[in-house]
Amino acid sequence: MGYNRVGDFMKFKTLKIQDHTMYEMFRQACPLCMNYLGSELNFQNLMTWKIADQIEYSVIDEKTLVIKGKNKGIPYFFAPMAPTSDDFIEAIKRMEKCAVDHNVPFLVKGLSEEMVDLIRSRGLKYRMDEERDYAEYLYSSESIRTLSGKKYNKKRNLLNQFMKNSDYELKAYEPIDDPLIQNLLYRWERKKSHAFEHRAIFDALKHLEVLNLFCDLIIIDGVAHAFSIGTKTKEMGLVLFEKADTSYTGIYQAMNYLFANRHFEDVALINRQEDLGILELRKAKMSYNPIGFVKKFTLMRNHLTMDEVHELKQLYQEAFDDSEGYLNYFFNQKYRAENVVFVKASKMIVSALHLVKKTLLVDEIAYPLPFVVAAATLKSHRNQGYMNRVIKQTMTELYNRKYPLCALSPFEESFYQPFGFESVIRTNQVQVNIDDTSSFQKQVATLEDIDRLIILYSTYMASKNIYIERKISDWESLFHEVQADEGSIIILTKLGKDVGYYTLFNQTIEELCLLDTSTVPSEPEFQSGKIDQINQVDGESRLMIRIINTKRFLEHYPFSEAITEKYRIHIKDDFFEANDITIELSINQGNVSIRDVEIFDQELSVNELTQWAFSIGHYPFTKPNASIFDRY
């Protein structure tokens, strides 16, 4: 059967309908699958998405089945189906090795609580997060079929209203009904979202019988106004797709009720899948009073081997002329295994970058902002596209972790622009007056002066609406980092009052915060009479921002409460496929809702969107007044 044995590279094949018997054999032999009610490991569900998600499988040691896919360029695994707990853990390790060997992020989706508990009990160091947006809703089959009790009063009223006022036919699907469904999907998409499901829907309809699926339509005057597609196991019914024309009051309630009574009388549970974090969908699903949820977890790699740490240090030393003290500080204090992204060649790290967590405030709304630092490629492997792969993998990792943005201080602006980074902070040199009097005094700051630095920083940023938040812990880290690089933080006072600070390394100023830039003291570091002034218009690029997840960025953006607008836009992202999206953005008195659509009125590149939000302030975004000192 072509199964790969121990030590072999994992070989994957396309999962086909003919593999159903083989698939169920592995599933039934897996104890961790016995109580698994999620749709991820349902064969019929996998088949409906096999093309869109490039579903493939591999078999380890003739006893464990591994499923992998790729959605919009992001590779992932599903939970392995293994005959024992030890085999399950071994499969996770083999899947991790496969991902690392292929230089792709290691992501496992759809893990159950039982699986997560097993992994934790073995002491394995993975990041495992619950995914509320993908939790699947479980309902009592009897409740859905009868709608009895006070809690279903509204549903019964809507159902009765539809039944009373509509001359409908509930019809089992036939291939001749395809044009009717196509027409309904077109009408539905104009109002709603998720047009990406269309291909999966018709692929499911094409293989209804062989996949043991069923589909019913509600027909009124020869036109399809609703349909559902589902399947069932011994444990439960599973609704894969459901669409309806809401111009008929109560039609969703009718479709749900009629479909359940026709197909789910012999099961106790009905799984109506997840809400994807869509508010309207969540409200609708909750209104049917679920009796439980299929909780789902994702797993990601957040550890390195000792050899990998050693290789990262060697790469850093070759690329950067930092002191031994700073190198030790970086890897002992700043470095975190879960925040390193690298690519290997010949089983050795040849290109890598590190991420440092910061927080960006946009009109007091906090965005987590990972900072890219220490990006480097071995000299022997430069100009071969390795950093390109590292950056793409970084975006995938951050996207999987739900980060909307990242940032970096570029060594060369033009290198990062093709990756979707856009300059939002620039610096140019300006001439200032030197005060030869003794009105300025400078003092080397210590940790005891953090309160003074916080006041200076806060005063400077008070007039800004985009800047980096700095807490006490951030200032403590800055102190340790400056000291490790044999530098110092200087506080300036004038006539006894604190007026600014700067970081100083060998008479070179790195970060400068002056409340008044009209004059500077007569000190060696200011002898040129020129200082770097931060702006957003011209000069050398100091900071570039990259929007990684447009939806998450827009969902949290503080739009003005005076704005009520609706836009259908295509965000064109040539570098990162997962962020190439077409959406309907609705802003209602500052509140945001977003839907996936197919038809758009305007197209923006991700770089243009970044300019609108962080540089230009193009409507509906607020005019930015940004100042960011951070570079590393």
pLDDT in tens, 533-560: 888 888 999 999 999 999 999 999 999 9
Is the pLDDT reported for residue 1 higher than 60? no
Reduced 3-state DSSP string for 84-121: CHHHHHHHHHHHHHHHHHCCCCCEEEEECHHHHHHHHH
What's the whole-number mean pLDDT along residues 500-508?
A: 93
Measured in degrees and rounded to the nearest 5, phi and psi for residue 559 equal: -65, 150
Amino acid at 134: Y
Handedness of CA 172, 175, 180, 186 (dihedral sign): positive
Comparing 554 with 192, the larger pLDDT belongs to 554
Amino acid at 8: D
Q: Which residue has the tokens 């300036």?
A: 492
CA distance 347 to 141: 53
**Residue 382 pLDDT:** 96
Q: Which residue has the tokens 């100083």?
A: 504
Comparing 351 with 52, the larger pLDDT belongs to 351
pLDDT in tens, 390-402: 999 999 999 999 9
pLDDT in tens, 416-434: 999 999 999 999 999 999 9
Instruction: Place 192 in a pLDDT band, splitting at 50, 70 and 90.
Output: low
Is the pLDDT reported for residue 388 higher than 50? yes
**Residue 302 three-state SS:** coil
Instruction: Take residue 293 and report the two structure tokens written for it.
Output: 């949820």
Q: Which residue has the tokens 């109560």?
A: 250
Measured in degrees and rounded to the nearest 5, phi and psi for residue 288 equal: -95, 10
The architecture CATH gives domain 304-403: 3-Layer(aba) Sandwich (3.40)
Determine which helix (DSSP H) or strand (DSSP E) holds 443, and give its type and residue range. strand 440-444
What's the whole-number mean pLDDT along residues 498-504?
A: 96
Instruction: Place 631 in a pLDDT band, splitting at 50, 70 and 90.
Output: confident
**Residue 394 three-state SS:** helix
Cβ neighbours of residue 77 closer than 8 Å, sequence gap 6 or more: 66, 67, 68, 95, 99, 106, 107, 108, 109
CA distance 543 to 535: 11
Fold held by 137-273: Aminopeptidase (3.40.630)
Fold held by 550-616: Nonspecific Lipid-transfer Protein; Chain A (3.30.1050)
pLDDT in tens, 509-541: 999 999 999 899 998 999 888 898 888 888 999
**Residue 303 three-state SS:** coil
Burial of 338 by CB count in 10 Å (0-12 exposed, 13-18 middle, 19+ buried)?
middle
The architecture CATH gives domain 433-528: 3-Layer(aba) Sandwich (3.40)
Domain boundaries, the chain: 13-134, 137-273, 304-403, 433-528, 550-616
Is the pLDDT reported for residue 223 higher than 50? yes
What's the whole-number mean pLDDT along residues 156-170?
A: 91
Amino acid at 435: D
What's the whole-number mean pLDDT along residues 437-460?
A: 94
Range scoring the smallest mean pLDDT among 4-13, 48-57, 181-190, 309-318: 4-13
What's the whole-number mean pLDDT along residues 345-356?
A: 94
Is the pLDDT reported for residue 5 higher than 50? no
Q: Report whether 570 contacts 602 (CB < 8 A).
A: yes
Cβ neighbours of residue 227 closer than 8 Å, sequence gap 6 or more: 173, 181, 184, 215, 216, 217, 218, 241, 242, 243, 244, 255
What's the whole-number mean pLDDT along residues 477-505?
A: 94
Q: Which residue has the tokens 């003739």?
A: 62
Instruction: Place 196 in a pLDDT band, splitting at 50, 70 and 90.
Output: low
**Residue 424 pLDDT:** 96
Instruction: Take residue 419 and report the two structure tokens written for it.
Output: 């990756």
pLDDT in tens, 283-304: 999 999 999 999 999 999 888 8
- Across the chain, mean pLDDT equals 92
Fold held by 13-134: Aminopeptidase (3.40.630)
**Residue 61 three-state SS:** coil
Is the pLDDT reported for residue 615 higher than 80? yes
**Residue 632 three-state SS:** coil
pLDDT in tens, 65-113: 999 999 888 899 999 999 999 999 999 999 999 998 888 889 999 999 9
**Residue 304 three-state SS:** coil
Instruction: Place 191 in a pLDDT band, splitting at 50, 70 and 90.
Output: low
Nearest to 4 by CA among 59, 55, 84: 59
Instruction: Take residue 505 and report the two structure tokens written for it.
Output: 């390394």
pTM: 0.83
Instruction: Place 190 in a pLDDT band, splitting at 50, 70 and 90.
Output: low
Same fold, 137-273 and 550-616: no
Comparing 216 with 435, the larger pLDDT belongs to 216
